Structure 1
Amino acid sequence: MPALIVLAGATGDLGHRIALALRARGARVRALVRPGNTKPEVAALRARGVEIVEVDLKDAAALVRACAGAACVVSALSGLREVIVYAQTQLLDAAVSAGVPRFIPSDFSIDYTKLPAGSNRNLDLRREFNRRLDQAPIQATSVLNGMFMDLLTGQAPMVLFKLRRILYWGSADQPLDFTTIADTAAFTAAAALDPTTPRYLRVAGEVATVRGLQAAATAATGQRFGCLRAGGLWVLKLMIRITRRLVPAPNEVFPPWQGMQYLHNMFTGLPKFGALDNDRYPDLQWTKVREVLAARH
């Protein structure tokens, strides 16, 4: 019988793609959704053969039953402390109680293990949960994918299409890790079905410098792009401090200053991946920056 994967966060963009990638690999998928969830993704998942289980993550007994029989529990939950630390801890406890052998947390980021505490709020929460995960009697695997490449065309204001510039701070030669949401989902699905995964898996669809982004944007659009240096990393750090003071938005998952923290982390070079695990599953194909920018253009 095909392996059963229990997935939390399946109605989000990444989680939905993970569910579909798991089904494409022949896995049985049990998606945990909040009671009364009427998002169209629920019906779409059910139509693709995904088992939908409505469960309150605070209902420990129900959560244990929902995890029963799984080969791996995958979390694609998104949120702040209430979700990343507390809800994932409830999911982890249920997985352990149900005898599930493996757990994949909702990390999907740059390598936060190399960053100083306090440099990125959202990644600090992931680090906090993973300390709990490391103490649990379960095999854990975190998938780290750098920055979602898809954000280059929208939420991460690096590629300025109207100005035909690549905006950056610090060095234009700092290598940066990028992976599309779809490729991250495909890799995570393969990892969920692989009982031999290590504690961390690191992938990057493309490793590109600012000059590499410049070349990719020029090739994708047929228009000459330049580079726009907004200052050193200290300037970006000052901008973060000012923005956080003016627009604190403590209850938003991705306020403007959070994205700025992410860029600052990347441009320091500290979270840059060393060896990549891209070749672990040879059937996967990796999307390049030029392809993403061409689709946007």
Structure 2
Amino acid sequence: MGNPIKNVAVVGGSGNLGRAAVSELVDAGFTVTVLTREGSTATFPARVVSKAVDYTSVGSLTSALEGQDALVSTIATVAIAAQKPLVDAAVAAGVRRIIPSEFGINTRFLGKEPIGTILQGKIQTLNYIHEKSKQNPLFTWTGVSTGLFFDWGLPHGSIGLDKATKTATIYDSGDEPYQASNLPHIGKAIAAILKHPEVTTNRYISIASFNPTQNQVLALAEKLTGEKWTVDHLPSSEQQKIGSEKLSKGDYSAFSNFLKKRVYGDGAGLAVSGPDNALDLLGLEEDDLEKSLREWLAE
């Protein structure tokens, strides 16, 4: 890669993951510029520069990316298809590494699954980046799958715990390990990729803060609260059905139903432990599951 990466532009820097990424990049010593929409009122830490851009204009994006070594996109799934002008601008501005908005489930193995219909924007963007990097070897990429956003998902219900009612929703047996990452952990991984770009050049990697089962998470919640929780047992196949009905009506909230089936269903096989977990490659360690739960319960 030659020179180290110093200047990093972030897209989606005011979102949940974006804020964690900006914070960890600043802590790691990078000079960070956040690209924002015209008229955005988002605020950022003191050392962070923000530049207003027109996301539909390659010219506007190219001038904003001049002098940037890397571009990190954390934009939400609904806006993913808008990444194409960003990719073109990054190439034109001489950006050397792009980390597109993959973060979540690994989109490289979705085949004909209905969840893949919803994630076409991600799939096509990475395919497009791959083509661009073949045409221009100086333009490189790293894709990162993180599994569920664990710390974000606890209050938002996607981990299946409701602390107000001490209720847990468990899909199938509850014994299937699943890939999950805390937002600061993902931010640290992004910084580590850019600190060691040579080991992650044109690679799709998977990381996890931990790979718990639903039953392990519930047992810890019960231990930490000193109470038995009420458990709703549901079949994951039902979630697939609900998702398919929603999708047939163009309702993209089907994603959360498909996700539950994909991640929690018995035999899913999506945990990333041992050599599959790229933390060693990045010089990072797993998070503490019990500590993550304790912090949420104390909020």
Question: 2:260 maps to which residue?
Answer: 263
Kept after mapping to 2: 8 A contact 1:92/1:133: yes
Tell me, in whole angstroms, the C-alpha distance in 2 between the residues paired with 1:176 and 1:226. 22
Tell me, in whole angstroms, the C-alpha distance in 2 between the residues paired with 1:280 and 1:103. 18
Kept after mapping to 1: 8 A contact 2:237/2:261: no
Question: 2:237 maps to which residue?
Answer: 234
CA 1:161–1:242 in structure 2 vs 1: closer, same or farther (change >3 Å)? farther
Question: 1:178 maps to which residue?
Answer: 180
Q: Deviations over 1:115-149 (max 9, x none)?
A: 23342144332112211111112211011111000
1:122-137 → structure 2 map (5 Å cutoff): 122-137=118-133
1:16-31 → structure 2 map (5 Å cutoff): 16-31=19-34
2:109 to 90, 114, 120: 114
Question: 1:90 maps to which residue?
Answer: 85
CA 1:263–1:22 in structure 2 vs 1: closer, same or farther (change >3 Å)? same
* Equivalent AA in structure 2 for residue 264 of structure 1: K
SS of corresponding position for 1:6: strand
Instruction: Give yes or no for the alignment of 1:213 onto 2:217.
Output: yes
Question: 1:290 maps to which residue?
Answer: 290
Kept after mapping to 2: 8 A contact 1:7/1:29: yes
Question: By how many angstroms is 1:155 displaced?
Answer: 3.0
Question: 2:136 maps to which residue?
Answer: none
* Equivalent AA in structure 1 for residue 88 of structure 2: D
SS of corresponding position for 1:200: strand
Question: By how many angstroms is 1:72 displaced?
Answer: 1.1
Tell me, in whole angstroms, the C-alpha distance in 2 between the residues paired with 1:37 and 1:217. 39
Question: 1:51 maps to which residue?
Answer: 49
Two-structure CA RMSD over aligned residues (Å): 2.3
Q: Deviations over 1:202-232 (max 9, x none)?
A: 111111112211222122222234653212x
Question: 2:145 maps to which residue?
Answer: 144
Question: 2:158 maps to which residue?
Answer: 156
**Equivalent residues, number:** 281
* Equivalent AA in structure 2 for residue 10 of structure 1: G
Tell me, in whole angstroms, the C-alpha distance in 2 between the residues paired with 1:145 and 1:157. 14
Tell me, in whole angstroms, the C-alpha distance in 2 between the residues paired with 1:125 and 1:68. 26
* Equivalent AA in structure 1 for residue 162 of structure 2: L
- How many percent of aligned residue pairs carry the same amino acid? 22
Q: Deviations over 1:10-48 (max 9, x none)?
A: 111211221111111111111111112112xx2x33x1x
Gap runs ≥5 in structure 1? none
* Equivalent AA in structure 2 for residue 146 of structure 1: G
Q: Deviations over 1:34-72 (max 9, x none)?
A: 112112xx2x33x1x111111112222221121122221
Tell me, in whole angstroms, the C-alpha distance in 1 between the residues paired with 2:160 and 2:23. 30
Tell me, in whole angstroms, the C-alpha distance in 1 between the residues paired with 2:72 and 2:229. 40
Question: 2:272 maps to which residue?
Answer: 273
Tell me, in whole angstroms, the C-alpha distance in 2 between the residues paired with 1:206 and 1:295. 16
1:60-79 → structure 2 map (5 Å cutoff): 60-79=58-77
When normalised by structure 2's length, the TM-score is 0.85
Kept after mapping to 1: 8 A contact 2:172/2:264: yes
Tell me, in whole angstroms, the C-alpha distance in 2 between the residues paired with 1:26 and 1:162. 40
Tell me, in whole angstroms, the C-alpha distance in 2 between the residues paired with 1:15 and 1:162. 28
Kept after mapping to 1: 8 A contact 2:279/2:285: no
